[in-house]
Chains A and B, each alone.
Chain A
Amino acid sequence: AQRVTQPEKLLSVFKGAPVELKCNYSYSGSPELFWYVQYSRQRLQLLLRHISRESIKGFTADLNKGETSFHLKKPFAQEEDSAMYYCALTDAGGTSYGKLTFGQGTILTVHP
């Protein structure tokens, strides 16, 4: 079974402070991990994925298979980063067609 846990429902930081959104997963196979974001009154959209090893809007995430974690980090938070963030998992073997397993989400608020 696949499970994604985001332990923080709410996270508040001040502008310019570092931010880390936690994501832990449980999966017996080979996982591929994603972060999705939903800004106010917008659709759910992909922020970044592990397979691309890219940095988007200053965010990075490292897959730690030993700790089964995929935490999202940004060194200096901006007010426009305020949003709901979802960590998601799929099977890296390619047989989980279109299936993403989501965590419960973390609401990030960046105060001025």
Chain B
Amino acid sequence: KAGVTQTPRYLIKTRGQQVTLSCSPISGHRSVSWYQQTPGQGLQFLFEYFSETQRNKGNFPGRFSGRQFSNSRSEMNVSTLELGDSALYLCASSSTGFITDTQYFGPGTRLTVL
């Protein structure tokens, strides 16, 4: 089974720009979660999607948004980039998003904001 894939793997943007990151879950998985990882704050939950619906949301500003398509692929968008948005963005997929399901993580997208 192919694992979770994330594209692109690396991104460099400047302040004020917007960026879109993509995540393809494991085949058959319908839940996709997104996390931001920084040295200072560690791994923080952004949001979770299941069947194209956002079911859960972390404590991030509205500049961070996401969506999920009918094939379960998910994208997250960050608008009006700030220096502090530089981070590794991880996505994870699971069958249903319930606690009994294992979350499988992707390799991450490294975003650098200059």
Question: Residues of B with Cβ closer than 8 Å to A?
Answer: 3-4, 31-33, 35, 42-45, 48, 50, 55-56, 58, 90, 92, 94, 97-100, 102-107
Contacts and interface: CB of A to CB of B under 8 A. Distances in A.
Q: Is the interface of B mostly helix, strand, loop or mixed?
A: strand
A10 to B, nearest CB: 14
A91 B33 CA distance: 15
A97 B107 CA distance: 21
Contacts of A46: 102-103
Contacts of B35: 100, 102
B112 to A, nearest CB: 20
Contacts, number: 59
A96 interface: yes
12 contacts: A43-B3, A43-B4, A43-B107, A45-B105, A51-B100, A90-B99, A92-B99, A94-B98, A98-B33, A98-B50, A99-B56, A104-B42
Q: Is the interface of A mostly helix, strand, loop or mixed?
A: loop
A85 interface: no
Interface in A84-111: 86, 90-92, 94, 96-105
Contacts of A92: 99
Contact of A98 (B90, B94, B100): B94
Interface of A: 32, 43-46, 51, 86, 90-92, 94, 96-105
A105 B92 CA distance: 18
Contacts of A44: 90, 105
A26 to B, nearest CB: 15
A31 to B, nearest CB: 10
Nearest to B45: A99
A99 B33 CA distance: 7
Nearest to B99: A32
